[in-house]
Every structure is written in structure tokens, then in C-alpha cells.
Amino acid sequence: MIDERPKKALIVGVSGQDGAYLAQFLLSKGYEVYGTSRDAQTSSFRNLLRLGIRDRVQAESMAPNDFRSVLQTIAKVEPDELYNLAGQSSVGLSFQQPVETLESISIGTLNFLEVIRFLERPIRFYNAGSSECFGDTGGAAADEMTPFRPRSPYAVAKAAAFWEVANYREAYGLFVCSGILFNHESPLRPERFVTRKIVASACRIAGGSEETLSLGNIAIARDWGWAPEYVEAMWLMLQQDQADDFVIATGQTHTLEEFTAAVFSSLGLDWREHVVTNASLFRPTDITVNRGNPGKAREKLGWLARHKMPDVVKMMVAEQQKGV
């Protein structure tokens, strides 16, 4: 007899950019979607409201770094797929909160893996890895075989979580995998992320504000993609016959200066008239150039980034102008 019930997905970190877009994507696939917050009764779930899907996502309270909380939630929901998108997500903030960053990412991931092993249920698990784990690659495009050389507390934590996942896959035969995602942006990013900070400031200036935008090192280069496309790659990883890890990227790199120039240019402005460099915004250690090689994802998942940096800029600016 064929089981015709809809698949259940549990998204940890459903309030964030990726969690909200993933919830939207899975709902379009007919999934029953659950999302967690540390306190679901007080959380605003602002991004779910913004996408118009709040009433279709069933909220649960869960603390990822509390094993008992994780066990109770997973046992209650009984998900087919579990997406771990939680944890402190800012590289810059991780230098100020290294303990919170390490604990929220590495201990949370370990709890999910151990609960899946303990319950002995065929739960497929996606872990949000990060391109930050690669560190500086000398400008070479990083793929799944590139060694990790993390250069921030955030990257150290993500590297630890990646190896936890790999260990549980090999030791216990669990269907668990990590997506090593390069930078992916959207209007749902909070303004503490530099891309949204630039877009929001430029739109205000275009609207008559006389503010000056302060940025850190604008010589850094990043591989910027479009977040709604990247959540589709997460889902594709859990539909494979075998669990594996994948780099998800556009394969193109642009400097922060180029990103800034593109934003201001789209608004008819010269960025050099409105931007200053502030040394206090430089990180203690940073990655000069990050570039991804998504060849394996293209070959095995059939996934390819359709939008590159110039497209991302246009879409983010257009959305920002609606709210300015």
C-alpha cells in the first residue's frame, strides 16, 4: 500500500532568511511544514508573515542546545526531513560572541544527530554548512575536496558541525548531509548583514537622505547568490539515493566595492560620493577572496544558480524601494 500522506519537514531556524524561503518552497511541494523557535509563543516570525505563509507553518518551541528539548520536539513532530538552519549566523558578531557561536552551532548540530540516532527513525537531515570554513584559498574556487582553514569563530563552529555530520554518516549510516553554501542574499536579510546595509542606505540616500554609508574592507571579494534558489539545493540534497555534501555557489566572485557600485548605480548615484571606509569595521581576520565551484551540485543535483550578483542587486533594490 502506497503511503499518500504529505511529507513532514521540520525547519530549525524557520524565522531566518533561509528558513522562511525554505518553508515557502516546501509548502509549494505539498509538505506539512513545522518550524521551531526558542519560544514559539513570543516569536514574531516576521519573515513568514512577510512571505504570507505564517498561518501555514506549525510552530514549535525548541532550544537546539538542550538535548531533552530536541528529543521531545522531534519525537512529537516525527519529521521525514529535518533542516538545521539555526545558530548564531553573523561572522562579524562571532568575534564578539565566540562562546555563544560555538555552542549554538556545534552543540545544536550534535544534539540533532544524536536524537536521530537514538530514535532510530529514517529522518533525513540537512545541516547548514558555510563557505567560511574554507578560509583563504588564494583565489582558487573551493570545492568539496578543498581543505578547511577557518578564520573566524563562526567558521570554526561551522567546521566542527560539518565534521560531526560526516562522522555520524560514516559511523551510523544515517542520511545526513551538509550544504556548504557561499554567500546568498535577499530582502529578508537583517540590516546587520552588509549587503542589506548597503541597499537600505543607498535607497534612503536616493530618497533624499544626507547620510554617509560607512563600510569596512571593500576590497574583499565574495561569491554572491540569490537565497530563494539556494534553499532548493538544500531540498535536492535530501532527495538523493545517498547522503553527500555539496558546495552551493554561483561560481562568480565580485568585490564588495563592485557590489556597492552596482547598488548605487542602479539608483543613478555615484557610490564614491556617499561611502567612507571605516577601519573600526574591519574584522580581526577576514577572507580576501572566496569563490565556489558548484560543479558537483550541477552534475549530481541538477542545480545551477540562475541569478548572479547583478541580478541580486536589482531584486534587493526593487524590494527595498517598496518599503522606503
- How does pLDDT run across 114-128, given as a tens digit for each residue? 999 999 999 999 999
Q: What is the pLDDT of residue 138?
A: 84
130 as an active site residue: the answer is yes
User: What average pLDDT does this structure show over 224-252?
Assistant: 97
Q: Mean of the per-residue pLDDT values for the chain? A: 93
Query: Is 154 tagged catalytic?
Result: yes
Please tell me the predicted confidence (pLDDT) of residue 52: 97
User: What gap in Å lies between CA 124 and CA 239, rounded to an integer?
Assistant: 9
- Give the cell for residue 84: 538545521
Q: Is the pLDDT of residue 140 over 80?
A: yes
CATH 3.40.50.720 fits 8-185+226-252+291-306, yes or no: yes
Q: What is the pLDDT of residues 262-313, one digit of tens each?
A: 999 999 999 999 999 887 776 676 778 889 999 999 999 999 999 999 999 9
Residue 100 has pLDDT above 90, yes or no: no
Integer Rg of the chain from CA: 20
Show the beta-strand stretches assigned E in the chain: 8-12, 32-37, 57-61, 81-84, 124-128, 176-181, 184-185, 213-215, 221-222, 225-226, 246-248, 254-255, 275-277
pLDDT value for 278: 83
Residues sharing a CB contact under 8 Å with residue 36, sequence separation 6 or more, in sequence order: 10, 11, 12, 13, 14, 59, 60, 61, 62, 64, 73, 86
Confidence class for position 259, pLDDT limits 50, 70, 90: very high
Which entry of 34, 83, 126, 154 is annotated as an active-site residue? 154
What pLDDT was estimated at residue 95?
83
Q: Using CA atoms of 181, 185, 186, 190 in order, give the dihedral in degrees to the nearest 10.
A: 100
Residue 82 confidence (pLDDT): 98
| Options 130, 152, 186, 201, the catalytic residue | 130
User: What local confidence, expressed as pLDDT, does residue 324 receive?
Assistant: 53
Nearest CA among 204, 193, 324 for reference residue 274: 204
CATH 3.90.25.10 positions along the chain are 194-221+254-290+313-323
pLDDT score at 85: 95
Measured N-to-C along each axis, helices 256-266 and 194-206 cross at an angle, to the nearest 10 degrees, of: 30
Query: Taking residues 227-233, what's their average pLDDT?
Result: 97
Residue 78 φ/ψ region, left for φ over 0, alpha for ψ in the -120 to 50 degree band, beta for the rest: left
pLDDT higher than 80, residue 89: no
Per-residue pLDDT for 199 more than 70? yes
- CATH 3.40.50.720 in the chain is located at 8-185+226-252+291-306
Task: Report the alpha-carbon distance of residue 305 to residue 280 in Å, rounded.
Answer: 34
Please name the residue that has the C-alpha cell 521540520: 10
Active-site choice (60, 81, 132, 185): 132
Which whole number is the average pLDDT over 43-49? 92
Q: How confident is the model at residue 4 (pLDDT cuts 50, 70, 90)?
A: confident
Instruction: Tell me the residue length of the chain.
Output: 324
CB atoms under 10 Å from CB of 62, counted, come to 26
* The domain defined by 194-221+254-290+313-323 carries CATH number 1.10.1240.10: no
The pLDDT value given to residue 87: 75
Give which of 138, 214, 193 is closest to 312, Cα–Cα: 193
The single-letter code of the amino acid at 281 is L
Helix (H, G, I), strand (E, B) or coil at 34: strand
CB hemisphere CA count around 5 (13 angstroms): 9
How does pLDDT run across 313-322, given as a tens digit for each residue? 999 999 998 8
Confidence (pTM): 0.93
Active site residue 94: no
pLDDT at residue number 191? 87
Yes or no: say if 104 and 64 are a contact pair by the CB < 8 Å rule.
Answer: yes
DSSP reduced 3-state for 230: helix
For the chain, counts of helices (H) and of strands (E): 12, 13
